[in-house]
Structure 1
């Protein structure tokens, strides 16, 4: 059919070209047909528009679909079609808008499309996309601003939400009070209570929110600790409160009265709260119990405190303590013992912990508990606390008791085997791992200690234990020569607020300095040693600090400061004085203060004959006198060194140096004796070859090359060719000839 139509069209066109009259006729006919078609389309679109305006969206869309079926749809028709789907809540609405944008990217409905897409996404709770489309609009109505704000609020963008809600506050619109509420609520959620309070107060007389905001205002007063204002505001509210808010208002009032120490009113409102809540909660039972305790109603206090749930936190520590105190006031010591023991096992309040353990230890004795339990309690108190008012009493009880048992390893292993630890178990494991780590450290089992400390660090609940754990962990790595890790841990160890750990803070600087020193980072080592120097109270460590600062400057080639700190260390006169004197002498020599250097070396020789630096001092003196051509003194100190030392290198160097002195003083035969001693006895030292060279020079000067060669022949490690022998003989003869000793030269 396509072929026939095409062929027919071709023949018709050929016929029209040949007949101009027919061509004009058919052209006119085509134009009339096209005009009628456009007219029909426009008429259909107008009908669709009319149906849309009348709210007959399905009928309008049916006409629009007929228009688009001929592939002649325009942007206006596609836009109206999409709006029909939107109005009918059809799922293809968004797709139709997107097709419009795709087919007609420059259409005139951009703003309307973005607005509709924003509303569709908002309606579908796709708030992120809704926000994107709202922000594409050139201007926003109050409705759109509100929806943009609410969409931001719904996805957690509270700052943006608060900003957009603020634009509606004070406007004459139905959104004004709602925007004010959300603005206040966001400020409340973000902790900006002052701002929230101002905004909530503006809604107190609002028809919609007037019954809601008083509860937020009450909570804000509570969070701000404005308890008197809370009481003044919420007390009238409690008398006409709605049922769903009754428990909340009474709890706030109860806690406010409690904080102002009005325990009678606190009890009244706590009781109302508990009546409403039926089950209550641990915090309320504790506060009510404490209110009864402070009102001296101990039986009621016991009843309330016993209802506090068994949780490992500061609440439990306080609750157990006041429960114990209430039992004690009713002379129920067995129950008091258990309650005080429980309270003493928590570390949240150190003062309460000490007081609880004091009562527990005392009751252990009074109730005649088994010997080991009683003594353990008394001994632990004395080891852990230093309250002078309690210590004397416990010491008196200790006279009648003895005990010592600590099964740390067994407790540790049991805790490690538990899959999910409670908070109290984590606290215990942190402490046990720390104690066992210290034990291994003291036995120099540093790798095992590290393993325990790493476990303790998994539960950094108690700040003091956490601090000490990392302190000793860093020291373990130092002992294992892993100075990089040691430095890293010491550097990250935060300052402890516990005054009892102030000594560790000072020692941290000392140990960090040593880590840098051992890592050859002398600049940082000096910095931290000098930091320690300012706070040091341990004279031994301060003395050592001076040595290490001096060593750091020495290794950094700052010999002036090095000798200054060596002198500080020497002045302390606690240990290693000979080391300080010797190193100071070396530093002085390197800055040209040779007289002072010689004086210090002689001091070592005179006062420290057993020093490990004695030999070096003799050697340095001999070398100094040799270099300054004071040969007799040089020979003397070399001889003293040879008597004193067993160091082969020093001995070989001394004989070699004496030989050189003799040779340069024209005492050639004496020089030969010294050189030969080195050659024959110290062939494994670095001075052997120098002695060979000296021997060659000495024999050559005497024209006794044959003797030199005889010596060489007896040395298996040295060989000399015939040509070299002839050269030596010739050179020796020539030298004598030059000296006019013809007979010898011959």
Structure 2
């Protein structure tokens, strides 16, 4: 190459000279010869192979980027590269060394795909499996490393492939296969470099299969020594014992581990585990000692777990402030989105709930739901429910309680108890009774069972099942779980007796209660209740005597206003109106700020009206309000004056009185009512413009009042009576816009539809009725609208539509609207000449709606008409004569007699 530059074999000499230097590992000289060859014989027969060997030389010197450059060039030069499979293999190994496993897999895969006869095939099979392992594509790694071709590999390669295959099985949680492959490796290659790692992997595979005894034996074998595998194995052999439930043995092993490796990295974990074991065995002192030490660890995870468990320990001891502090520390050190973070937040939710900090507690509990909805779902729901309950949000609490599906007996018990109380506080006494009864049955020895039975009795009382309420009280007394030393319980018991029909026993117990607890708040109430029972029985004289007896025993009783009022009621029912008025007056005179003043005024009003002297009631009202103008209900009493005039049909006087009220009590909440009744008074006087003015004030000025919608309806009625349909429609439209959301809207729409009918605008009416029946389907006006739609369809001959509407009403309702629907359904069938079907429909009016005489009478008339069409005159006459017998002197009777004559 140096002297015979014209030689024909000089190119070959360069190539072989490079190979010789490569063999002597003189890689830079080798490259120089290969590069000279490439320079002087560009595109020659050895150029591709020369680039391959340059790449190999760089790879041998670990100059990986340079190696990649030339190996890629060699791959492209397919014509002059005799080592194409080796080039690809070396390039893949270089990428593997760089940690670029994706490119390594790419080129190993090329070799396996295109060079099936290469001597490097098996090696590539191993290496691609290794690369897949490091790419964490364990399934692909298993697929490649499970190839039978690998059985013929040299021992070092085969043992490595088995080790990685076992690891891959472990990573995909196929612990049984992992155990098999680890065992095969240990059996075939007992001297392998992977021996301890393989044994450790085997131990873990056994542990994950719950083969704790077998795992313990392997961990125990590995635990001798000081390397990391020995220390970890020491730790996990203790864990194997813990999982076997042999906590004492686990504690002993952990304590030996602390003695043998006192300065090891694993010490904080061991201290935490000891704290956990002592916690589970109720040795709180030892648990706390180890947990406090673990909490000072440098490992954030251990600190988080230790603080969290300390929080749970304090929570169990009801030291909620201390628990809260520990949980906060645990949360500070917990990794984001970790189990311990969630557990710390749950602990905080519980501790803060017990500390009464409901908003803070719910914030943490809701964070858990947002981050991990399935984490401790039942406990999270339980504490959310309790927090809602404390805030008196019983519906939300009930929703959370109902979301609990746990089998944990403590939570099941508390959930049932909480659910029962939610229903109780919501006034749903039937559901609360059912659940309190279940609680008493399932947990008869629980500390809360007596309270549950008391609430059961209250629930029965609330749902008016007084006999059951009395029986529960009686059982509690007999079982001595409840004594009559509590006047509240005694009073409820007596009430239950009365409500269950045991009147004499109730009177006796109310009397006994007063004698036994003469100074309790229930003493005077019990005596009053005795009088009230006699009042309810119609024994008014005895009632009066008992009412007065309360005042005799308790002259300063707070019940005085209701006692005088009740005496007044008793005299009123005896028609002794003067005595009634005297006692009602005592309420007004002696207790003008009492809540019974308004009722007393009503009593006086009715008494004077009964005596035919309403003007005296009016004079009394004037006098009382003048003397007590600032009482909270003076306005309501003064309004009674106008009501008296209105009820006596003195509409002019009523008008003046309502105006006087508006002037005198301009800030009263009853002002809208006064304007409304002003309108009604004017309407009754046929002063329609005034009436519309007053109704309009009530509507426009007080749109949020209950009277607003009623005022609109009254205006609409007046406009309809005056045949001013356009004004009525305009007012209805304005109200629909202004009173959006009002419960009066369905009726306003319905009246709008009727107004369109009055104006002969049937198409518009039909649309309005359709809207009402669709958008307000839960209201009576939806059904009324269906009836009106049915009438329009019937008149237009759209029988299918009319029949559907009438039949739906007849089957759905049992009131007069249902009767009308049934009658018109029969009438529709009659018009369609379906006489037999019509008879069946009309007979149903008699069997289902017989209490509605108008429609029953009309159905008999229509039945007669059907029989006439069927040429059954005898049956027709029978129907007509039924009408005649019940309506001898009215229009129905007259029409029926005419039809009988026509039959002749």
TM-score, length-scaled by structure 2: 0.39
Structure with greater contact order relative to length (CA < 8 Å, sep ≥ 6)? 1
TM-score, length-scaled by structure 1: 0.46
